[in-house]
Homo-oligomer: A and B are copies of this chain.
């Protein structure tokens, strides 16, 4: 089961992990900005999912190389600068971060992954970063998970942690940062997940790919793709338990879903969390395409901000896709009220209550049996003003 009370599980909840979060001085706010997570084993299996953006940040390139052998012993993360679009100098900085961590922990540099988040196109102040790494490695502790989670925040208003304790004796812990739609620096999402289960790297990679596919990949806050997105899984094997792959994947997916919902609900400026669910598609892929098209409609998101169940904007977005459907067969419901039936006017839209933060938009394509949900937020204010007030 996923933990729902008590102190939240974090990256140091599973056995075999130490972490720290310190203030290196990268943020003008003076808040903590540098974290290290250290897997002390006995195993060091690792899997990573990285941004598919072709303009990837230096730490992304470094991490891709570091994890190629399925082994990571530590991850160093900083907020206050993304080290993206920084050229060869930026690559050297990322390598220096890995090396400093490796030196402090007596590891090989290629067993250290690096994550950065913050503004694109500026160099990191490496003197401060290096001192911070030394400091963090000195303060690593088995209770350091919460400190680490705080140190990777940028515009997040809350630290984000989640986890899962399996009855069989193994545990997953995790932390994430990202403030959704309104996050600057392209809403970089960094996630570190730890477990004391025995999870060989190959299995971990499969599990992580599946878990992210149906959670983080379906969180579409503003259609913008970060240069720095990183989701890393570190497995220490310290519990000695080796769960069945399906069971581990399910637990990992639940933890990722929990974190994704925390990211969604911390999107700055947003007043609604919107779940766009497409049913009756001929394939899950087509369901995702349609849901994503709707979730990316600025006009619809403005309407939701204005508490207007504007199903016409839903249909207009559906109509831009190549998915299989008949325009005269589409149904659309807002919060359970079927305001559009057969591609035309359905229930009275005044029956829809959009005052709660959670909004569901359900679209029925009547083409097949597949379904999918994409989560997004509403759009607020001046852009909104014209769009949201139009029908009131």
Contact = CB atoms under 8 A, between A and B. Distances in A.
Contact of A86 (B298, B317, B330, B345): B345
Nearest to A349: B121
B319 A55 contact: yes
Interface in A173-201: 181-187
Contacts of A340: 85, 121
Contact of A186 (B55, B313, B391): B313
Contacts of A89: 344
A316 B184 contact: no
Contact of A90 (B183, B186, B344): B344
A33 to B, nearest CB: 15
Interface string A63-102: 0000000000000000000101111111000000000000
A186 B297 CA distance: 10
A386 interface: yes
Nearest to A325: B54
Contact of A344 (B87, B321, B328): B87
A354 interface: no
Contact of A345 (B82, B121, B183, B299): B121
A121 B308 CA distance: 13
A386 B269 contact: yes
A223 B298 contact: yes
A99 B185 CA distance: 56
Given A186-B299, A382-B381, A383-B379, A343 B85 contact: yes
Given A340-B85, A382-B382, A53 B120 contact: no
Interface string A329-368: 0100000000010111100000000000000000000000
Nearest to A84: B312
Contacts of A383: 181-182, 269, 379-381, 383-384
B53 A316 contact: yes
Given A120-B312, A227-B312, A340-B85, A298 B53 contact: no
Nearest to A222: B298
Most buried by B among A54, A82, A121: A121
Given A121-B311, A382-B381, A327 B87 contact: no
A319 B89 CA distance: 20
Contacts of A313: 120, 186, 224
A103 interface: no
A184 B327 contact: no
The 10 closest A-B pairs by CB, nearest first: A120-B312, A381-B382, A55-B319, A87-B344, A184-B390, A121-B312, A53-B319, A54-B319, A182-B386, A381-B381
Interface of A: 53-56, 82, 84-90, 119-123, 155, 181-187, 222-227, 268-269, 296-299, 310-313, 315-321, 327-328, 330, 340, 342-345, 379-387, 390-391
Given A119-B312, A381-B382, 7 more contacts: A54-B319, A85-B315, A85-B343, A86-B344, A183-B386, A184-B390, A381-B385
